[in-house]
Chains A and B, each alone.
Chain A
Amino acid sequence: MIGTTLTKIKDVYRRFYYIFNLLIIIALMFVPQVFSKSKMTIICTMCGYFIIVGALNVINGYCGQMCFGIAGFYCVGAYVMAILMQTFHVSYWLALIPAGIVAALLGAVVALPALRMKGMFLAMITIGFSEVMRLLALNWTSVTGGAMGIKGIKSPTFFGIKMGGASKYYYIYIVIVLLFLFCTRRVMKSRVGRAWLSIREDEMAAKSLGVEIKKYKIYNFMYGAFWAGIAGALLAPYTRYIDSTYFTLEEGFNVLAMLVIGGQGTLAGPFVGVGVYQLIIETLRPIGVWRFVACALLIIVMMWLRPQGLVGASNSKLAGAGKKAGRKKAKKAESGEV
């Protein structure tokens, strides 16, 4: 039932693609006028999550690699940004890209040993990396401020307008979110994206066709790490203070939860995931910690009923078709004509 409704929505969207997109972008520009300041803070947080969950989706969803340590890249991006701005007095706009690049380079570093591993080993090494980043942030006091973190990070100015506060910073967030969407869509619709998909679906077959598995896995990690780093870099001047508690494994698992619930392997998945997650967190606030229980239950339910997530890629390994399902298909097909 979900499947057919989704296809119908997709069909309508495709037909009026350009108009829809233009209308959406225009509408997005008016969001701060419509919503109150407190709602805008939630929206800004969501935008930050859109980017980082999207980045994780590229690694886990599109390429099928099991990265559970996205918080590490998030951490690096945030700290590099904060350090560049506070210690080296680099302007916000100039510091943004380098923060992403440093995260991307670290993505390559993490990817290298990960090339030899799959599944739970890869998951563990990414978790290990994430924790090492957090512990470095916590203990390397001379550079990162240790447990005190980095405070007083200035808000950026855009042609004289100070972009502090959720209602103004929102514009920066939304532009980057749209940029992320734009880039990711284009990459996925190219040879690079198809290579990633082939690695996810059947690595041995991809290898036999000449897809350079190692290279593409590294690119994939670097791409995801870059955007996670950017998300971190955007966070620091927004909250104006960061410390290592923002980048715990728990945060990483929250991001993972949003991805898993919303959907892996599609562009819309991360957005739905962030939306649903924030919805649960905000509306169930009266029941306190139970809302996190609700989220945890949702993950389990999702794995049972729809492993690819609410709007995830149904036509993929992510949807849980294991060896048995493959055999069923072969049997079905055998009875057909040549």
Chain B
Amino acid sequence: MAEALLEAKGVSKIFGGLTAVDRVDMTINKGDIFGIIGPNGAGKTTFFNMCTGFYTISEGFIYLNGKNISNMPCDKIAHLGIARTFQNIKLFNYMSVLDNISIGSHINTKTNMFDAILHTPRYRKDEKYIREQGYEILEKVGLSQYADTMAGNLPYGVQRKVEIARALAVKPQIILLDEPAAGMNPKETDSLMEFIKMLNAEGYTIALIEHDMKFVMNSCNRILVLNFGQKICEGTPDEVKNDEKVKEAYFGKGIIAARGTKSC
């Protein structure tokens, strides 16, 4: 059956008097494209940041493959197999696309200072690996023509793909995308959707936060809905679409009540 990859159990984040995330449970299975949606301020990015080690967890636990990764620092979490992208694309703007991906390969290489100075076999092996990995990933994602372009000079839609490609170099078990379609026009959004589906077909488990309903409904196979920091639904797109609490959250109690009086 479905194998749980990333799980959250009763996770909360409390900032002083404000409970941003309130005892949320979540299960992402291997091979999912998992969507996290909810109105603005629902706590999606806060939750994400806890899963990736950018925020400390106030209550609850997070498990990766059954291993407790709560409160681990984010570089350690990356080593364990979670890679992420950021809402406002954080590429190394002044480096080429290939160099960006090389940084992604950092985790998978071992060269230290002495290896570098003496050009030991380990250095040579690592450099070869990094170069080959870089070209391979670019080939896979269809961005080979941009290999030597400075990342900051690329169109926004391509930048997002490069950021994802860089995360792939980490060879993660799961990639978390924070509002990947933010700031994109419909054409770019469609292209991104195909991109994500293609990655999933290659075997990557993907979780993403999004506002764009069409995007989420058409690409994710399971969705978590948050509102005011609480989980209000977790299931397939159809289940979520028909859930009363979800409708309430997005449309307000008024419209639900109005439907009851059959005026529309």
Contact = CB atoms under 8 A, between A and B. Distances in A.
Direct contact between A and B in the complex (CB less than 8 angstroms)?
A: yes
Given A186-B117, A210-B78, A329-B153, A205 B106 contact: no
Contact of A191 (B95, B109, B152, B170): B109
Contact of B126 (A191, A211, A321, A337): A191
Given A208-B74, A209-B103, A202 B92 contact: yes
Contacts of B166: 209
Interface in A295-338: 315-317, 321, 326, 329-330, 333-338
Contacts of B116: 186-187, 189-193
A197 interface: yes
Contacts of A330: 156, 183
B139 interface: no
A212 interface: yes
A333 B153 contact: yes
B155 A194 contact: no
Q: How large is the interface on A (under 10, 10 to 19, 20 to 34, 35 or more residues)?
A: 35 or more
Interface string B42-60: 0000000000101000000
Contacts of A338: 155, 157-158, 187-188, 191
A154 to B, nearest CB: 30
B147 to A, nearest CB: 16
Contacts of A212: 75
B95 to A, nearest CB: 7
Contacts of A315: 94-95, 150
Interface stretch (B83-91, B212-220, B229-237): B83-91
A192 B83 contact: no
A316 B107 contact: no
B103 A194 contact: yes
B62 to A, nearest CB: 16
B155 A209 contact: no
A122 B102 CA distance: 29
Given A192-B113, A195-B106, A205-B92, A334 B155 contact: yes
B263 interface: no
- What size tier do the contact residues of chain B reach? 35 or more
Nearest to B99: A194
Contacts of A334: 155-156, 183
B152 A329 contact: yes
Given A190-B123, A333-B156, A201 B117 contact: no
A153 interface: no
Nearest to B103: A198
A205 B94 CA distance: 14
Nearest to A198: B103
A194 B102 contact: yes
A336 B161 CA distance: 14
A94 interface: no
Of the candidates A186, A190, A206, A317, the one having the most CB atoms from chain B within 10 angstroms of its own CB is: A190
B79 A316 contact: no
A187 B166 CA distance: 22
Interface in A203-217: 204-213
Contact of B94 (A186, A189, A317, A333): A317
A316 B96 CA distance: 12
B81 to A, nearest CB: 10
B35 interface: no
Contacts of A211: 75, 103, 106
Contacts of B111: 190-192
Nearest to A203: B90
B180 interface: no
26 contacts: A190-B113, A190-B116, A190-B123, A191-B116, A192-B111, A192-B116, A194-B103, A195-B106, A197-B92, A198-B92, A198-B106, A201-B92, A201-B94, A205-B91, A205-B92, A208-B52, A208-B83, A210-B106, A210-B170, A211-B103, A213-B75, A330-B156, A333-B154, A333-B155, A336-B156, A338-B188
Interface of B: 52, 54, 73-75, 78-79, 83-84, 86, 90-95, 99, 102-104, 106-107, 109, 111-113, 115-117, 119, 123, 126-127, 130, 150, 152-159, 166-167, 169-170, 183, 187-188, 191
Interface of A: 182-183, 186-187, 189-195, 197-198, 201-202, 204-213, 219, 223, 315-317, 321, 326, 329-330, 333-338
Given A192-B116, A207-B73, A209-B170, 6 more contacts: A186-B119, A205-B91, A206-B103, A208-B75, A315-B150, A333-B159
